[in-house]
Amino acid sequence: MPATTISPADLLSPKMLAQLERLELVSRKIFRGRMKGERRSKRKGQSVEFADFRNYVHGDDLRFIDWNTFARLDKLFLKLFLEEEDLHFFTLIDASTSMDFGEPTKLYFAKQMAAALGYIGLCRADRVRIETFGTPIRKPGPVLRGRHSLMRMLDYVHQIEPGENVSLLEAVKSFCLRNQGKGVLVLITDLMDKSGYEAAFRFLTAQQMDVYVIHTLSPVELNPEDQLKGDLRLVDAEDEDAAEITVSRPLLEKYRKTLNAFVEGARSFCTKRGMTYMLANTDMPVDQVVSSYLRQRGLVR
């Protein structure tokens, strides 16, 4: 479909949009925004939302002294307020050839997830940027803000195509060079990189970001016994490595153990480094993933 004819229903149905509007992106860290947004920060500031008192200290702004309390207690107290601030929200999508697999494809699921989370951010005046592994350093994705940016965001996401076979480490390094600010990063990938994920994730831990890893796999990858039988020739979608196999119960059991070990290894690696890991099956409705699973993990509320 041409980008000029794209509509919200292509990725986000009207029903889903209505559900997403009630949600808010949350950071476990405190970041100082450049502009006033629509969220209440944990950091005390000087907005109109009263938060608490504290004792006056020499040098404090006299305008914020509570004179009514002084009249009653003969002590100086300063009014504190909850400061509203905006949030940097980034989504980094793996658009490698291996993501063009499944029904729906892992890439479509990633695009729909990015659009859903991005829309939540737009509704709260957060700064939203969606990029892919192959985004060039000198041409970062657009920074979007406000509900009026919905169509621009959907147009950008709609045009993402598979085939950006960039290593995870290279993609993460390039992303960090393009986006050196603080904020929340959601990384959506199938983690199918022969060089592994460890170096890339270690690089991310050095950044001042709240990182969520959504490990995206298709039902066939999670439960191959439902569709794979007999003698098969498997070809790597990215480097065309091939292997001849015979699907048998022992082979499927070995695959299952290997997959479980890989998933638990990635989960443990992320948890130990302050990142949040979630395994997502592409047959899961995106609105359910956002409103239930990601809410449980603290990304939305």
pLDDT of 67-100, one tens digit each? 888 788 888 877 665 444 568 999 999 999 999 9
Taking the CA atoms of 173, 87, 127 and 285 in sequence, report the sign of the dihedral they define.
Answer: positive
Confidence bin at 4 (pLDDT 50/70/90): very low
What is the separation, in whole angstroms, between the first and last Cα of the chain? Answer: 34
* Rg of the chain taking only CA atoms, in angstroms: 23
Average pLDDT, stretch 175-192? 91
- Predicted confidence at residue 38, as pLDDT, reads 47
> What pLDDT is stored for residue 120 in this prediction?
96
pLDDT given at position 135: 92
CB 169 within 8 A of CB 195: yes
The whole-number average pLDDT for the span 150-168 is 93
Percent of the chain with pLDDT strictly greater than 70:
82
In this predicted structure, the answer to whether residue 243 has a pLDDT above a threshold of 90 is no
- Asked whether the beta carbons of 173 and 206 are under 8 A apart, the reply is no
Query: What value, to the nearest 5°, has the Cα angle with vertex 47 and ends 44 and 50?
Result: 70
Rounded Cα–Cα distance for residues 106 and 218 (Å): 6
Q: What distance lies between CA 197 and its chain's CA centroid?
A: 17
pLDDT band, very low/low/confident/very high, at 170 (cuts 50, 70, 90): very high
Average pLDDT of the segment spanning 6-29 = 82
Average pLDDT of the chain? 84
| Spatial separation of the C-alpha atoms in residues 138 and 289, rounded to whole Å | 33
Of residues 78 and 174, more confidently modeled: 174
Q: Higher-confidence residue: 81 or 240?
A: 240
The values of phi and psi at residue 159, to 5°, are -85, -5
Does the pLDDT value for residue 58 go beyond 70? no
In angstroms, the Cα distances linking 107 to 122, 144, 190 are 22, 21, 9
Average pLDDT over residues 131-143: 90
Distance (Å) of CA 299 to CA 13, 16, 151, 278: 21, 18, 23, 11
Instruction: Retrieve residue 215's tokens.
Output: 């490990």
pLDDT band at 237 (very low <50, low <70, confident <90, very high): confident
Residue 115 or 57, more confident: 115
The C-alpha angle with vertex 277 and arms to 272 and 283, in degrees rounded to 5, equals: 160
- b/e for 183-206, b at 16 or more Cβ within 10 A? bbbbbbbbbbbeeebeebbeebee
> pLDDT tier at 3 (50, 70, 90 boundaries)?
very low
How would residue 50 be classed by pLDDT, with cut points 50, 70 and 90? low
H or E, element range at 262? helix 249-272
* Most confident region among 36-50, 197-211, 240-254 by mean pLDDT: 197-211
Q: What is the mean pLDDT of residues 141-157?
A: 93
Computed from CA positions of residues 207, 92, 126, 25, in that sequence, does the dihedral angle turn out positive or negative? Answer: negative
- Composition of the chain by helix, strand, coil, percent to 5: 40, 25, 35
Which structural domains are found in the chain, ordered by start? Answer: 14-27+86-297 (3.40.50.410), 49-82 (no CATH)
Inform me whether the pLDDT recorded for 294 exceeds 80. Answer: yes
247, 232 Cβ separation under 8 angstroms: yes
Predicted pLDDT of residue 47: 46
Place 5 in a pLDDT band, splitting at 50, 70 and 90.
very low
- Compute the average pLDDT of residues 151-173: 94
The two three-digit tokens of residue 196, written as one number: 């592994």
Q: Which pLDDT score, from 0 to 100, does residue 249 have?
A: 84
Tell whether the model's pLDDT for residue 42 goes beyond 70: no
The phi, psi pair for 201, rounded to 5°, reads -70, -35
Residue 290 DSSP class: I
In angstroms, the CA 273 to CA 34 distance is: 27
Strand, coil or helix: 49: strand
